[in-house]
Amino acid sequence: MRAAVFQGPGEITVEDVPKPEIEAPTDAIVRVTHTAVCGSDLWFYRGESDRDSGTRVGHEPMGIVEEVGDDVRSVEPGDRVFAPFVVSCGHCEFCRKGLHTSCVDGDGWGGDNGGGQGEYVRSPHADGTLVRVPDRHADDEETLEAILPLTDVMGTGHHAALSAGVEEGSTCIVIGDGAVGLCGVLAARRLGAERIVAMGHHEDRLDIAEEFGATETVSARGEEAVERATELTYGGANHVVECVGAASSMDTAIGVCRPGGTVGYVGVPHGVNEDGLDLLSMFRDNIALRGGVAPVRAYAEELLADVLQGTLDPSPIFTKTVDVEGVPEGYRAMDEREAIKVLVKPEH
Binding site for a copy of itself (CB under 8 A): 94, 97, 99, 101-102, 163, 259-260, 265, 268-269, 272-274, 276-277, 279-280, 282-293, 295
Closer to a copy of itself by Cβ: residue 263 or 327: 263
| Residues with Cβ within 8 Å of residue 296, at least 6 apart in sequence | 84, 85, 86, 100, 150, 151, 152, 154, 155, 156, 158, 159
- Helical H runs in the chain? 41-45, 93-96, 126-129, 141-147, 153-163, 179-190, 203-212, 222-232, 247-255, 272-275, 279-285, 296-308, 327-335
CB of 165 to a copy of itself, least distance (A): 11
- Distance CA(53)–CA(7), nearest Å, equals 5
**What is the CA angle 228-170-231, rounded to 5?**
15
Residue type, 290: R
User: Whose Cβ is closer to a copy of itself: residue 264's or residue 346's?
Assistant: 264
Handedness of CA 133, 139, 145, 151 (dihedral sign): positive
In the bound complex, what is the minimum distance in angstroms from residue 40's beta carbon to a copy of itself? 12
Nearest approach, Cβ of 313 to a copy of itself (angstroms)? Answer: 27
Shortest Å, Cβ 253 to a copy of itself: 13
Smallest distance from a copy of itself to CB 277, Å: 6
Those residues with Cβ within 8 angstroms of residue 35's Cβ, 6 or more apart along the chain or in another chain: 58, 60, 61, 62, 116, 117, 148, 151, 344, 346
Of 249 and 315, the one with the shorter C-beta distance to a copy of itself is 249
CB of 312 within 8 A of CB of 303? Answer: yes
Distance of alpha carbon 120 from alpha carbon 285, whole angstroms: 50
Nearer to a copy of itself, 17 or 268 (CB): 268
Please name the residues in contact with 204: beta carbons below 8 A apart, sequence gap of 6 or more: none
- Nearest to a copy of itself of 274, 336 (CB atom): 274
Shorter beta-carbon distance to a copy of itself: residue 250 or 307 = 250
CB of 347 to a copy of itself, least distance (A): 36
Nearer to a copy of itself, 99 or 308 (CB): 99
Nearest residue (CB) to a copy of itself, 134 versus 259: 259
CB of 98 to a copy of itself, least distance (A): 8
Quick one: 102 or 248, whose CB is closer to a copy of itself?
A: 102
Rounded Cα distance between 304 and 252, Å, is 32
Distance CA 248, CA 250 (A): 5
Phi/psi at 13 (nearest 5 deg)? -120, 165
- Write down the number of H helices and E strands in the chain: 13, 18
User: 182 near 157, Cβ under 8 Å?
Assistant: yes
Least separation in angstroms between residue 194's CB and a copy of itself is 18
- DSSP codes of every residue in 256-285: TEEEEEEEEE-SPPBSHHHH---HHHHHHH
Residue 257 Cβ vs a copy of itself, minimum distance, rounded to whole Å: 12
